[in-house]
Amino acid sequence: MTLCEHDERFLESELEPVAPQDARFHIIPAGFEASVSYGGGTRRGPAGILKASQQLEVWDGLSNSSRLGLFTHCPVDCDEDATIVLERIEVAVQAALDVSAENPPVPVLLGGEHTVTLGALRALHKRFGKFGVVQFDAHADLRDEYEGSPYSHASVMHRALDLGLPLVQVGVRACCEAEVAVRGKYGVIHWDARDLARNGLPQSILPPDFPENVYVTFDVDGLDPSVIRATGTPVPGGTSWWDAQHMLEQAMRGRRVLGMDVVELAPDLGDIASDFAAAQLVYNMMGMVQRLAK
């Protein structure tokens, strides 16, 4: 596991390199793009986040998670079909976890389309068994398959359910009838954008019996396009920045965060604000782990 001299590291402008074993957060770029259904460009998402991270402050307003150590892995080779790429992501996450058997670091996956999440979930499931998944997204991603593929970005949360992982969804506002049926079948808890707008934020997005171990996946289209527009399928009426921060804190407080990801950024040269917001989101989530998680 070595530094990639030709690739940017997260917050490289502010931080000296650290050894993998000295880093609490292992950032894994995975710019896979194969099944996007509208606008393209998610393959450039990880590079956009890493570039924008050079402009971040190490103090996020509440904490400085860089003190726990950040290690950026070499990008996962995503120039194959989904089956092979998911295996490579799984191996990369396993390698990060293997740095410390007693206190595994937190893998932070940067996508790429949402399909990449499945590789991380598989690795963590093998290591830790059952855990809960908290999904921020404009879409339910619960189709059994989409355009003939069970590994579509529109199917990734169905694959999580196949692993037996409880699921909570936040901010969804684009969902087909088949996905509604899947929610009912598997008891998926959901805080859809329409309900949040009408009723306000819940006291807690997670039920009392939700697993202590969690994985947080954040599709940037879960935010309103006024916050992040550079994504393949921006849907109006999304979650605001501060509401999302509040609900992320609810998801992590008092729990063990096994891993997390930020996916579906599609950088646009005329929209550096979206790249910066995505990089800030990644760093804020690391800060929440530092402050709130076990």
Here the CATH number for the domain that contains residue 218 is 3.40.800.10
The per-residue pLDDT for 270 is: 86
d(CA 29, CA 43) in angstroms, rounded, equals 10
In this structure, is residue 11 part of a structural domain? no
| Residue range(s) defining the domain that contains residue 211 | 20-292
In this structure, is residue 108 part of a structural domain? yes
In this structure, is residue 10 part of a structural domain? no
The per-residue pLDDT for 7 is: 75
The per-residue pLDDT for 25 is: 98
Q: How many domains does the structure of the chain reveal? A: 1
Reading the chain (294 residues) residue by residue, the pLDDT tens digits are 656 665 799 999 999 999 999 999 999 999 999 866 666 789 999 999 999 999 999 999 999 999 999 999 999 999 999 999 999 999 999 999 999 978 999 999 999 999 999 999 999 999 999 999 999 999 999 999 988 899 999 999 999 999 999 999 999 999 999 999 999 999 999 999 999 999 999 999 999 999 999 999 999 999 999 999 999 999 999 999 999 999 999 999 999 999 999 999 999 978 999 999 999 999 999 999 999 999
Q: Specify the amino acid at residue 284.
A: N
The per-residue pLDDT for 40 is: 78
Angle between helices 272-292 and 45-53 (to 10 degrees): 70
In this structure, is residue 203 part of a structural domain? yes
CB proximity list for 101: less than 8 A, separation 6 or greater: none
In this structure, is residue 48 part of a structural domain? yes
In this structure, is residue 12 part of a structural domain? no
Angle between helices 82-97 and 117-128 (to 10 degrees): 50
The per-residue pLDDT for 219 is: 98
Query: What is the chain's length?
Result: 294
Distance of CA 187 to the CA centre of its chain: 22
d(CA 283, CA 88) in angstroms, rounded, equals 24
In this structure, is residue 13 part of a structural domain? no
The per-residue pLDDT for 190 is: 98
In this structure, is residue 118 part of a structural domain? yes
CB proximity list for 55: less than 8 A, separation 6 or greater: 13, 276, 279
